[in-house]
Amino acid sequence: MLSVRLFLVGSVAWVAACGTDAGSEVTFAYDGAAARSDAEGSFVDAGAEAARPASLTHVRLAQMSPDLGSVDFCLKPEGGEAIGPLLAAASLDGGTPDFVDFAQVSVEVAVPALGTLQVVVVSAPATACASARAVGSVTLGAGKHATLVVSGVSKGSVEAARAASVSAFADDVSASAAGLRVRFVHAAFGTTITAGVPWFAAALTSGNSVSPVAAEVLPRKAGTPSGLDPVVDALGYHVLPWLPAGEVGVRASISGGDAGPSLWSSATRDWALSAGDARTVFVVSLAAGGSGDLAAVVCDDLRRVPAAPCRLAPAY
């Protein structure tokens, strides 16, 4: 079954269409073209089906702010009005949640690739985009997949560098024969009473082995690209040529703070890994705050488990 919702933004019409299956992708077409469903129940912009992969971009929202609560999001084109809330539009028939909670990512939605957009994060459930909890400017390339990450402190008064905002990360959603791809993202900003993590080096642990993944992970960034070991590509991924057996843990060597370097380790978890997987590991602050109250949130970048794409690993 397909549900449709129409957003009118000036002279531009965006049509949201979604199936009732949990994991269905939500597609937004525009320019007032007629709409129909294809055989799989996906929305197709009439007359532009052949151009669809190049004209759309696919995004999901990651909620990595511990004091923000359940959220939805809107997109605001330059010079236009905000469109959304998008997760509310996706849930019209109850097929997907109309929010995303802390330490999870939302259903993926497909929107027109209109270049630079403002992402407006609002509390859920939401019916409008006016009351922003966090904002950020992102550029969405055509035919790409991206994760929009809201992180930082949303309550009280903190310095701008730690306040809640939105950043974007391009995802590699293709299975790779080279091995397991792992990317770390820094989303650990503490709370109103404790400092966040300045920066860290990241590694995975499996049994007695420790595998470096990134030599430097800066705030609101993925691992810094590097041609030296551990090699990190332009999207922040490091390739492990082997698949860890059993449970996997996360290790962060934290640097740059007043207290000097420190080592943080997560509890080990079964990541349910398979050949060719790609995972993003968000290092986040928990509600208690501080570098001693961190957790690792491990999310599937291949979108193979849409109902529960992330697993949380607290401190060891």
Model confidence over 216-259: pLDDT tens digits? 999 999 999 999 999 999 999 999 988 887 899 999 999 876 66
Work out how many domains the chain is built from and give that number: 1
At 120, the pLDDT band (50, 70, 90 cuts) reads very high
Cα 76 from Cα 57, distance rounded (Å):
15
Residue 147 inside a domain? The answer is: no
Residue 210 inside a domain? The answer is: yes
Residue 159 inside a domain? The answer is: no
Kindly report which listed range (29-33, 123-127, 248-252, 266-270) carries the lowest average pLDDT score: 29-33
Cα 78 from Cα 1, distance rounded (Å):
33
Cα 184 from Cα 218, distance rounded (Å):
10
Assign 143 to helix, strand or coil. Answer: coil
Cα 198 from Cα 187, distance rounded (Å):
11
Q: Please report, as a single letter, which amino acid is at residue 110.
A: A
Q: Is residue 7 over pLDDT 50?
A: no
Residue 211 inside a domain? The answer is: yes
Residue 157 inside a domain? The answer is: no
pTM score above 0.85: no
Average pLDDT over residues 29-42: 34
| 197 and 188 Cβ atoms separated by less than 8 Å | yes
Assign 51 to helix, strand or coil. Answer: helix
Residue 267 inside a domain? The answer is: yes
Residue 1 inside a domain? The answer is: no
Instruction: DSSP letter for 161, please.
Output: G
Percent with pLDDT over 70 in the chain: 78
Which residue, 263, 285, 171, is CA-closest to 222? 171
Residue 243 inside a domain? The answer is: yes
| 119 and 75 Cβ atoms separated by less than 8 Å | yes
Cα 238 from Cα 225, distance rounded (Å):
9
Task: Give the domain extent around 303.
Answer: 178-316
